[in-house]
Each structure stands twice: as structure tokens, then as C-alpha cells.
Structure 1
Amino acid sequence: MKKNQYETPLYTAILEYSKKKVIPFDVPGHKQGRGNKELVEFLGEKTLSVDVNSMKPLDNIGNPIGVIKESEELMAEAFSSDNSFFLVNGTSAGVQAMIMSVCHQGDKIIIPRNVHKSAINALILSGAHPIYVQPEIDDHIGISLGVSVESYKKAIEENSDAKALFVINPTYYGIVSDLKKILELAKSHGLVTIVDEAHGTHFYFNDNFPDGAMKLGADISSVSLHKTGGSLTQSSVLLSNNGLVDKGTIKTTLNLTQSTSASYLLMTSLDITRKMLATEGKEIFNKVRELSIYARNETNKIEGYYAFGKELIDKNSVYDFDETKLSINTTNIGLTGIEVYDILRDEYNIQVEFGDSNNILAIISVGDTKENIDKLIGALKDISRKYKKEKKAPIKLNFRNPSVIVSPRDAFYSNKKRIKLEDSTGEISGESIMAYPPGIPIVSPGERIDDEMIKYIIHLKEKGSILTGTEDPEIKWIKVLGI
């Protein structure tokens, strides 16, 4: 029987708890804010009064049998899946749990090279061996596109013993692969399909966007409601369909790494947000889409910028495009995306999602207004007028199939030595290096380091990109395999 999506079991239970004025002798230690007055001034009495721990009337995320279970069932229905699991460690925890639920030591997983670092971390935790498939590259705008059906097909044919197949839906830049055909291909070969939908919440609530993975029959997916849906940062959901992946295995795997002190603020925000999206999502995302189209059109009127969109669609490496990703190429004004990102933040008080060597990304979602978009457009015009230089060629991306010499897990736990980055050519990396955001590794544990990787990392450092992954915070040194 269809559920009532206006219900909010967890939120309702939290409100009832708050009304009862319970005297707490449990954690958290601030005791409804009384023990930390400055925190109350910052967050407010109401917030602190419902920052609580697990208890009978509020259920337990580790083994939900009450209001959390009811809220998760509503979430599953809203996202067209059989099951859902609340996440308080973000979709990064969801990606790790998905891979660890399916892949064990030595199992092969077919996975795009431009995955988020959480997927690489999951390979370390699970011991799975990556079979990388390359996204196509658009050298004119300097971005990775989607992975074609043919590339997945070739990888499956060459690795008939693969256990799972991983898909990104959509990429950071809004690129969507032909998910329906990829899922059909995986199913015909008995592979489990794992989908990273961190940026795809809105796909489930408006038909003007590409399809959500669970609607198309994916086995398991993880979605960041906080990114484009409106819940609190770090709140996400893992979705699964019955069949190849056991629900109990997912729950047990999640309990390996997810906090036993799950934030009720985060979980309640998921409950409230699910209600909003399930009951008003179509109208909300109609407005979001209209704002996105307006922003893209206005940006493209400014000399020197290119806000790319659906014109990239070729039904191969770009099967579809997510219009809420306002990706803007900046090379024609002679500036890197990193430089434009910094100018927007430092001089115009505008924070976009990220800047890379060639582009900036502004995400348009449920909280955006035309007024704020006009401020962004105005700032972009001003930057073009004040800072425009000679046009520069896009920086080519370093997305080639790396030489995976040992598994990420074996590399991570191997004996390592510390050497200068510029001297590491030919060595096997014991660490990851990535620009964050978006958090896509340039080199990962177990891969042989080459000159192109080093040049690209040095270029990003020189342009002011935030690099992470190594023990050395300045990325001057890297740990490689050896004593």
C-alpha cells in the first residue's frame, strides 16, 4: 500500500520528546545546551534541546525497529527503491558501504577512473581490485565526460570474473552516461550495479531531469540529499533494490563504520527533506531548472565565458546533461577556473562549488534565488572586464588508465618510504593525491607514478588548487612502496 509522504515519523517523535521536557542523564554532555552557553548562542536553544542520543521512543540507527525504520521506509518509496538506510557520515560512507557490501578481497570491480576518493578508500577497506574504465575527455573545455557503453562492454568482456560495476550519475560537471543500457549490460552478465548519485537527488522528483538509478533497476545507490535536496550537510541515504545485494549485509556493513552516536539533527533533516521533495519536488525542481537555464543563458551572453550544457549530448560519452550544474569554462578570458573561483570569493563574497584548471562550477538548487544568480552574473561580467587576459589553451586532463601494480589495499598497508614528489617518477604510490573539491584522485595507492601525473600536480599547486591525500600537507613529499 502506498505510504503517506506527508508523514514524518522521526521528526514527529523528536517534537514529542522536546515537549516532554525530559531530564537527561545520558549523553550528549551539554544537557540540552545548559552546559555550553556559547554553543546555545550560536545554534539556539531549540537546536540543542533536540541534539539527543538513541533511546526507545527515538529508535536506533544501528538496528532501526521504530520511527527511524518508518522514516527509512518512506524514503525508500520516495526514491523508488525497495530499501533505504540513513547516513550521517555523508555519501562517502555510503559509497564505502556499497562496495564493501558487494566486493571482498581480490574481487574485481569495473570502475570509472574519475571516481571520488571515497571509492578508492573503499577499495582499500574491501581489498577489491579496480578495473578502470576511462571517461571520454573534451579537450576544448577540459573536462572528463561520461563512460560509454562500449567502454563498459569491453571491460566486462576482458574481465568475465568481475563482481560489480560502478557508475557515476551524474558527474560533478553534470555529465550523465547511458545508465539504462549500462544497467542492462551489467544485468546480462550477472554483475552487481553500484551507483554514486551524490549529485543526483533531484533526478527522482522531476521528469525534466535524467532518470535516477533506482528507477531504472540499479542494485544499490547512494544519494546526498544535502547536496541538491536541502537537508543538513553530511546527511545522505543509501538505497537498495532486493535481489543481488542482501539488505542485512548492507546493514551489517554500514555498522562497521557508521557512528553509533548518529546525529538526530541530521536524521531529522532527512525526514523533513524527504517529505518536502516527495510532496513538492516537481514544482520545486521546475523552478530550480528555470533558474539554471536563465543562469546559463545569461552567462553565455558575457564575452569570454562558456557555460556548457545540453549541446554536449552525443548519446555516447554524454548521454544526457544535468542542467542544475552551472559549469563555466573560463579559458577564453585567459584565467583558470581556480583564479576565477578565488576572485569571486575574495572580492565579490560569492562562493562557488569549485574551480579547476579550466572551469568553475556553481550548483543551482532548492535554496537559490534569481537575485543571487544575478549577483553571480554581475560578478562574472565585472571579472571579465577587469581581469581578462589573452586566451589560453585548456589544460589537458591527466585521465589515462594508470598502471595498477598492486591493489590499493596492499599498497596502503605495504612498507613505504618518503621521497620528494618530483623524484617519484616510476615509483609505486603508497598514497593518493587529489584536488578537493571535487576529490578525484590524480594518483592512488598501488599505481605507478609517471611524469604527466607529477606535472599536473605541480600545475595545480602553482595555481592555488587545494590538494589533499598525502601525509605531507604541502604535497612536497609522497610515500611510495619500498623500505
Structure 2
Amino acid sequence: MDVHDPRGLASEAPLLAGWIDFVAGVDTGELTPFTIPGHKHRADLVGDVVRGDVPLFAGLDSMKQAGGRLRDAERRAARAWGVDWCRLSVGGATHANQAAVLALGAPGQPVVVSRTLHRSVLLGLVHAGLDPVWVRPEIDPATGLPGGVPPEAVAAALANHPDACGVLIGDPSYIGTRSDTAAIAEVAHSAGVPLVVDAAWAAVFGFSTRVPSHALDLGADILVTSAHKTLPAWSQGAIIAARTSRDGGLVDPDRLERAFEAGNTTSPAGAILASIDASRALLERDGEELVGGLVDLVAHARQTLSAVPGIRILETNDAFEVDPTKLVVLLAGTGAHGHEVEADLLADGIALEMADRDLLVPIVTLADDAGTVDRLLDALARSIERRRGAPRAQHGSAAWSVEPQTAASPRTAFFAEAETVAAADAVGRVSAELIAPYPPGVPVIAPGERVTAAALRVLGDTLADGGRIAYAADPSLRTIQVLTDRS
């Protein structure tokens, strides 16, 4: 295996150094492991899929962690985000979000939650037994897309639920729109509760003058971010960082540590950990240059696509403040159908993060350059011309538009007796399952909420339009799982 460190990060990333040392030892025959993983680095058994798979225990460090490499890497990450506590997760932002929720309150306590957060937060509420008090972002009437969560909505929710244990928001949103995190932090702290920010798409924030400050710098108490979404880290890599009571914050570090370990694997993948560590070191050392280059690439893409007749680009304006590294393409004015455009791009070897009828989200990262971005822009322009039709009104995902009707807590509904009924018969019943268009994975129906005709209509429209329904036991939505009358 070719093991190298092209950017010289190993001296600043102890887990990366451990990964390099281990793989080099296996390659030279100096190491003969009698530990897991069972493939023992033999690529002749199942192929190259196992190359680079190094465990944390008896891999990046000794089985007893005598070298302290993970502790060192996490201390460095905490320092990079300016706080006193940080853990690296191999379970993605899903694990990190659920750890944050578990650290907040006691079963039965309310917690203020942005409705546009990812399903991982809602399932965290099931684990913790917390009751969501939903706050919704402002919806732009021109596009149907969500903007920021109004601080006054958070303040009202906290005033109406003085026993709330915290506030959870996502910032930036899946489409890059931003809330006033500093104002929401002030509202939360005035009520004596911590603010948790799921910043899964904003790992680069705070590491360049060209992008916004990260949420912890804006007053949040816990930050969750994905290293694998926009940084050069392995899939499932994530970071959870917190300002705890040891550093004047509102979060109990011991409770947060227990919450993290509750969902953490006992066999963490060392390659994922090493790549998170390396990505953190890269941001600290070269963030100004690399993140600035990313902002320039996205600005170039926005300018180029804005010149294509009918295309609109989501940018900061009177309705939105938008992440400068996010590229969101609004198609309605071209008349082209997003799923057909996506198919054309796939035929050209280009995969998108998200496509629905009116919206495309290609993810541009630090790993892109002018060549990859121009390839995307050329293919997109060709497809638009091929698929162009009559302009139509722009619509946002169904996930942003449905008002939930809460009838039971998510935990109660999750564990209640349930039955499967025809979708038409589910209207008015309480859902036992979570149903969401994917992407973005934001629930339209959640456990404990009444199934409404409006929710079924927008989910049906998503299916009819060629979209995917996720998490439901029956993704065709012919049937839905609901609580029995006895529950």
C-alpha cells in the first residue's frame, strides 16, 4: 500500500501518524496483528475494499491506548474550536446529535427543536424521552424554501415551557440558509438553557475570514459538525465540541461524556478517526487559503449558472442569509425537471447530493478545483437546454411545509402498540413511524404525530414526481404504521 502524507500533516495529527505507522508496518511485514479486524489486511480474500482499514485499538495506538493518541487528537480539536471538550465520532453527525440530546434533560422534559432538523435529532428524542416543542423557520413565499429560525419564536417557546432543558437548531440548513445563532444563543441563555447547533454542513465555518464564525464562537454550547460532508475525511466522520461547565458553560461534561459513549462503538474505525484528525489539522494550518478557494469556486459557479436563462441561484438577499460555500440551483424558471437533469448528469458521470423537481444541490468542497466545477457547469448547462420547458412556480420540498399535529411524545409512540393500516385509513390516527422525503431527511410525519391528509398529499406528490420516501416501513405509502386504539 502506498502510505504517504502529501501535505505533511502527521506531525500535527497524532491519529494520522498512528495510521501511517501501522499501515507501513503491515506492508513491510514488521507487524503481524492477532487482533481484529478479521481480514488481517489481506486484500486477496475479499479485495481492496479492506485496504487502509486500521482499528483504533491495537492499530492507531496500543490496545491499552498507552500512547494517548486519541486523547491528544481530541484535545487538539477542542482547542481548534475554542472550547474545553471535544470527541471525534465514527458514527457521523447522527451519533453526535443523539449524544447531545441525551446530555440535556430528563425523560418528560420539553426541549425546543427546529422542525427542519435531521431525523437523527428526532430519534435522539426517542432515546432521551424528551418532548419536542417545535419552532419553524421562516418560509420564503417566492420559493417555498426555509430561511432562519426566528429568535422570537424560540423566546416564545421557552416562555411557554419554562421547564425546557435546551434549544436545538440546525445552522446552516440543508440548503445553506442561516439563522441568527448569536441571537438565539442569547435567548436560550437568558432562559438558563444550553443551545445545541447541528452544523453538519458547516465544518469549514470559523477557519477563514471568507466564511461565517462557527456556532461556538457565536454563543452555542454544543456544536455538531460532519467531517465527511465537506472536509477530506472518511464517510461517517463527525465532531462534537462543547463549552462545558468547566469553562463557564451550561453543559455537564460528565453527562455529555456518558451520552457520547452510550452510542459509541467499542471498535472505532481508525481510518475514520485519523481522517478527522488530519482534516482538523488541515483546517488549522491551511484553512484561510483552502476555504477561501472554495468560496471562490462556489462564487464562480453561481455567476456562471446565473447567466443561464431561467436558472436562479440561492444567494444572500432580503429573504435569506446563505452559506457562501453552498451551491443551490433553482430550476423552475427553466421548465426543466430536476430528476431528468439529474439523470443526464449521472449519464455524464456526475452525481448530485440532491435533486427534486425544482431544486439541485451539488456539493462543492475543498477537494474540488476549477476543472471539476467547470465539468459540472458544462454538463448542467447542456442538460438544461435539452430539458427546457415552460417556466413554472418554484416549490420547496414537502419537508418544509407541513405543520405537525403532536398527539403523543416520540418515545411514547415509538414503544406503543402499533398496527399497519391502509394510508387512507391512517388519516387522523397517530403515527408510529417517521416518514420523510430523502434527501433532505427532514420528517414530514414523526412518531407521535397525527397523520393528516395534507401530509399524505405532499408525500404522495413527492412519490408521483419521482422522489424517494425514506424510513417508512412501506416506502410506497400504500400502508402506514399507526398506534392501535388501545395504545
**Same fold? TM cut 0.5:** yes
- CA distance, structure 1, for counterparts of residue 281 and residue 11 of structure 2: 6
Q: Indicate the SS of the match to 1:239.
A: strand
One-letter amino acid matched to 2:395: I
1:8 CA displacement: 1.6
Q: Indicate the SS of the match to 2:480.
A: strand
Give 1:67's match in structure 2, choosing from 66, 69, 91: 69
Counterpart for residue 250 of structure 1: 256
Over aligned residues, Cα RMSD in angstroms?
A: 2.1
Asked whether 1:333 is paired with 2:338, we answer no
1:241 CA displacement: 0.6
Q: Indicate the SS of the match to 1:203.
A: coil
Name the CA shift for 1:130/1:292 in 2 (closer, same or farther; >3 Å): same
Name the CA shift for 1:5/1:242 in 2 (closer, same or farther; >3 Å): farther
- CA distance, structure 2, for counterparts of residue 123 and residue 139 of structure 1: 31
Give 2:13's match in structure 1, choosing from 8, 13, 19: 8
Q: Indicate the SS of the match to 1:442.
A: coil
Counterpart for residue 230 of structure 2: 228
Q: Indicate the SS of the match to 1:290.
A: helix
**Paired residues for 1:47-446 under 5 Å:** 47-48=52-53, 51-55=54-58, 58=61, 66-243=68-245, 244-311=250-317, 313-314=318-319, 318=320, 320-345=321-346, 347-395=347-395, 397=398, 399-446=401-448
Name the CA shift for 1:425/1:265 in 2 (closer, same or farther; >3 Å): same
- CA distance, structure 2, for counterparts of residue 18 and residue 242 of structure 1: 36
Cα-to-partner distance string for 1:285-332 (whole Å, 9 max, x where unaligned): 110000000000100000111012012x45xxx3x3202111111111
Give 1:462's match in structure 2, choosing from 461, 464, 467: 464
1:14 CA displacement: 3.1
1:180 CA displacement: 0.6
Say if 1:133 and 1:401, in contact at 8 Å, map to a contact too.
no
- CA distance, structure 1, for counterparts of residue 113 and residue 328 of structure 2: 24
Cα-to-partner distance string for 1:176-197 (whole Å, 9 max, x where unaligned): 1011111011111101111101
Name the CA shift for 1:203/1:464 in 2 (closer, same or farther; >3 Å): same
1:400 CA displacement: 4.2
1:362 CA displacement: 1.3
1:145 CA displacement: 1.4
Which runs of no fewer than 5 residues in structure 2 stay unpaired? 1-8
One-letter amino acid matched to 2:134: Y
Asked whether 1:25 is paired with 2:34, we answer yes
- CA distance, structure 2, for counterparts of residue 272 and residue 66 of structure 1: 16
Q: Indicate the SS of the match to 2:169.
A: strand
- CA distance, structure 1, for counterparts of residue 63 and residue 475 of structure 2: 38
- CA distance, structure 1, for counterparts of residue 358 and residue 271 of structure 2: 38
Q: Indicate the SS of the match to 1:161.
A: coil
- CA distance, structure 2, for counterparts of residue 373 and residue 391 of structure 1: 26
1:56 CA displacement: 8.9
Say if 1:196 and 1:221, in contact at 8 Å, map to a contact too.
yes
Which runs of no fewer than 5 residues in structure 1 stay unpaired? none
1:18 CA displacement: 4.0
1:271 CA displacement: 1.3
1:156 CA displacement: 1.5
Q: Indicate the SS of the match to 1:412.
A: helix
Name the CA shift for 1:353/1:64 in 2 (closer, same or farther; >3 Å): farther
One-letter amino acid matched to 2:274: T
Say if 2:111 and 2:131, in contact at 8 Å, map to a contact too.
yes
Name the CA shift for 1:336/1:164 in 2 (closer, same or farther; >3 Å): farther
1:37 CA displacement: 3.3
- CA distance, structure 2, for counterparts of residue 219 and residue 113 of structure 1: 20
Q: Indicate the SS of the match to 1:85.
A: strand
Residue-pair matches, total:
467
Name the CA shift for 1:15/1:344 in 2 (closer, same or farther; >3 Å): closer
Q: Indicate the SS of the match to 1:201.
A: coil
Name the CA shift for 1:223/1:65 in 2 (closer, same or farther; >3 Å): farther
Cα-to-partner distance string for 1:157-189 (whole Å, 9 max, x where unaligned): 211221100121110111110111110111111
Segment drifting more, 164-173 vs 332-341: 332-341
One-letter amino acid matched to 2:411: R
Say if 1:338 and 1:359, in contact at 8 Å, map to a contact too.
no
Say if 1:339 and 1:355, in contact at 8 Å, map to a contact too.
no
- CA distance, structure 2, for counterparts of residue 139 and residue 5 of structure 1: 49
Segment drifting more, 10-19 vs 402-411: 10-19
Name the CA shift for 1:331/1:19 in 2 (closer, same or farther; >3 Å): closer
- CA distance, structure 2, for counterparts of residue 458 and residue 412 of structure 1: 24
Name the CA shift for 1:141/1:343 in 2 (closer, same or farther; >3 Å): farther
- CA distance, structure 2, for counterparts of residue 65 and residue 122 of structure 1: 33
- CA distance, structure 2, for counterparts of residue 272 and residue 390 of structure 1: 48
1:64 CA displacement: 9.4
Identity of aligned residues (%): 27
Q: Indicate the SS of the match to 1:274.
A: helix
Name the CA shift for 1:64/1:393 in 2 (closer, same or farther; >3 Å): farther
Say if 1:225 and 1:235, in contact at 8 Å, map to a contact too.
yes
1:444 CA displacement: 0.4
TM norm structure 1: 0.92
- CA distance, structure 1, for counterparts of residue 184 and residue 60 of structure 2: 43
Q: Indicate the SS of the match to 2:443.
A: strand
Say if 2:227 and 2:237, in contact at 8 Å, map to a contact too.
yes
- CA distance, structure 2, for counterparts of residue 23 and residue 92 of structure 1: 35
Say if 1:197 and 1:224, in contact at 8 Å, map to a contact too.
yes
